[in-house]
Amino acid sequence: MCTTCGCGDGHEDHPQGHAPNPLAPWSAPAPLAHGTRLISLEVDVLEKNDRYAAANRAAFASHAVQAINLMSSPGSGKTSLLVRTIEAIRGTRPVAVIEGDQETARDAERIRATGAPATQINTGKGCHLDAEAVGRAVATLAPAAGGVLFIENVGNLVCPAAFDLGEAAKVVVLSVTEGEDKPLKYPEMFRVASLLLLNKADLLPYVDFDVDFALQCARRVNPGLTAILTSAKSGAGIDEWLDWIERGRPPRIAAVR
């Protein structure tokens, strides 16, 4: 699973996922040598990531770049929604995209076909983007001042929620082809989001999906969560989504460093 937290260590040798505890459950810890003390140290495993995120956030602010982190499970339609979004706003604001996937550059190629610059981050065994990788990608991509930077995270409803990338907002995409109770099963993802896009709305006549119940589940974990019903295919909700983006636009700055 996640190579950052190390939970992938030992998977090949131990099918259960982790090496067995060398101490049997009934074994007592070895006694301390005379005159020594046992000190418990707790370190925030995300501390390094948060430092990079703070640097990213400062860089975005200095250039008035609006960074939006798009998160979802695989197949929710994030890339198709991005293509539709770019086509709608590229004449009014600069747009750039960072694509996160374990392998291939297919999504970045789809974005570049719209005319928007895009860079691909392949995480290999990693199941999320981190702030350091995003910072390196931004240095290469060099998004235009005053523009929008979309960060399409790796498809995963768990790990991406924990990693600050320096973005202005986290947006979670839930398609109507998924279960309405996803917000209750993966609460942290919906708790940290500023916006929920209920996507693939054009399929509602053909799937058994209760929109009201999905929203109830989402607002049980995040009572103030805003939601928009969207469809990249039909265009439903796109104007409302664009208005939400515009409302979050950072203020103009007198000079860009």
For 16, the 3-state DSSP assignment is: coil
User: Any idea where the domains of the chain sit in the sequence?
Assistant: 47-247
CA distance 168 to 143: 15
What pLDDT was estimated at residue 137? Answer: 97
Under 8 Å between Cβ of 197 and 240: no
What pLDDT was estimated at residue 37? Answer: 76
CATH class belonging to 47-247: alpha beta
* pLDDT (tens place) for every residue of the chain, 257 residues total: 465 555 444 333 333 333 444 333 444 455 666 777 776 655 676 899 999 999 999 999 999 999 999 999 999 999 999 999 999 998 899 999 999 999 999 999 999 999 999 999 999 988 999 999 999 999 999 999 999 999 999 999 999 999 999 999 999 999 999 999 999 999 999 999 999 999 999 999 999 999 999 999 999 999 999 999 999 999 999 999 999 999 999 987 544 44
> Phi and psi of 8, rounded to 5°?
-85, -10
- Closest by CA position to 160, among listed 147, 179, 173: 173
Angle at 186 between CA 163 and CA 199, to 5 degrees: 90
Residue 18 CA: distances (Å) to CA of 13, 14, 15, 88, 125: 8, 6, 8, 48, 16
DSSP 172: E
